Amino acid sequence: MKLKHAAVIEPNQARWKALAAGLKKAGLIVSSAKEAEALDKEQVVVLGASAKSPSRLARLIREKAPNALLLAAQSKGFKAPFADAVLPLPLSVNDLKVRLAEWATRRADDGGASAASRAGEGILDPTTNFYTFSHFKEVLFVEVKRARRYGFPLALALLAFDPIKGLHQAHVQSQLMGGLALAIRRSLRDTDYPVQYSADRVLLLMPHTDLAGTLIVARRICERVSRASLQSGDDVLHPTISVGVAAGEPGREYGFSDLVRQAQDGLTQAMARGGNRVEFYDASTDVTLEAPMPPTIPPVAP
């Protein structure tokens, strides 16, 4: 079953327009319904972040459209017990397309049951709300093949936290990974794919992006994380991350495993050299080089 019709319940007009535009780019037809009572044949309903009393609104939406997929648009936090799933903000059209296809398949398999009914099966990481690598790897492989075939650049980054007190405690790691996910989403472009590569590694695939563009994104994420702090008991933690970057150049033969290996080498080098830095693989020299943080970085929102 393909999801075609959608509605956005968002009182802020500017945010409504932004969400509606993103849904349309993802291939959905957005209706004029802006309140639960106006819902008709919508298969997807997005509840905006500005909506007051979201739990109450969710109940009204379910009464009016019991078979619709209810998504909570959120820029912070990755859980919404009143919705079927979270729609991370800022909205990524490519990411939404993949999610819509997955949600449609799951609902068809479940006979119309909610997307939340199969939580915990490993499709989405519960902390970052990124796709898990085991579920998303085929998409990654296809993107690499497309880049080679059509001759456009493609880059990959692998991110991990540098050693820090309490990092291996479950509640600390959960908070750190949640904060990292937010920093990543605020730094990526619409065409980029964030994936939970492992429990402590996040992989970013950036189609149509050369090495220079990827370094800008990686540095931006590093900067955002380094400015954050986390209260853990009596301690205030100041986390940093290391990033390994690799890029596939047009005309050069490479595979997904090559890029991952090169990015992993860069990540290892970055952590060995003290962390809070980016290391990249240079295909022309076949070595991993340091990409130090610039002395001044333009201010970015935390």
Residues 105 and 152 in one domain: no
Percent of the chain at pLDDT exceeding 90 = 49
Has residue 36 got a pLDDT over 80? yes
Residue 39 maps to a domain: yes
Between 124 and 23, the more confident residue is 23
Q: What CATH number is given to the structural domain containing 110? A: 3.40.50.2300
Residues 30 and 67 in one domain: yes
Instruction: State residue 110's pLDDT score.
Output: 58
Residue 123 maps to a domain: no
Between 243 and 89, the more confident residue is 243
Q: Average pLDDT of the chain?
A: 84
Residues 162 and 35 in one domain: no
Q: Could you say which of 72, 87, 118 is where a domain stops?
A: 118
Q: What CATH number is given to the structural domain containing 226? A: 3.30.70.270
DSSP string, the chain: ----EEEEE-SSHHHHHHHHHHHHHTTPEE-S--SGGG--S-SEEEE-TT-SSHHHHHHHHHHH-TTSEEEEEESS-S--TTSSEEEESS--HHHHHHHHHHHHHHHHHTTS--GGGGTTSSSB-TTT-PEEHHHHHHHHHHHHHHHHHHT--EEEEEEEEPP-TTTTSHHHHHHHHHHHHHHHHTT--TT-EEEEEETTEEEEEEET--HHHHHHHHHHHHHHHHT--EEETTEEE---EEEEEEEEPTT----HHHHHHHHHHHHHHHHHTTSSSEEEEETTTTEEEEEPPPS-------
> In which domain, by residue range, is 268 found?
131-291
Residue 266 maps to a domain: yes
pTM for the complete prediction? 0.65
Q: Summarize the confidence of residues 274-287 as an average pLDDT.
A: 77
Q: Could you say which of 84, 118, 152 is where a domain stops?
A: 118
Residues 31 and 113 in one domain: yes
Residues 205 and 107 in one domain: no
Has residue 301 got a pLDDT over 50? no
Instruction: State residue 204's pLDDT score.
Output: 95
Q: Could you say which of 92, 118, 144 is where a domain stops?
A: 118
> Residue 69 — very low, low, confident or very high, per pLDDT cuts 50/70/90?
very high
Residues 68 and 164 in one domain: no
Residues 26 and 107 in one domain: yes
How many structural domains does the chain have?
A: 2
Residue 124 maps to a domain: no
Instruction: State residue 1's pLDDT score.
Output: 63
Residue 300 maps to a domain: no
Residues 65 and 211 in one domain: no
Residues 269 and 194 in one domain: yes
Residue 148 maps to a domain: yes
Residues 135 and 283 in one domain: yes
Residue 298 maps to a domain: no
- Top mean pLDDT of 25-29, 96-100, 228-232 is at 25-29
Residues 138 and 108 in one domain: no
Residues 48 and 90 in one domain: yes
Has residue 155 got a pLDDT over 60? yes
Residue 296 maps to a domain: no
Instruction: State residue 159's pLDDT score.
Output: 97
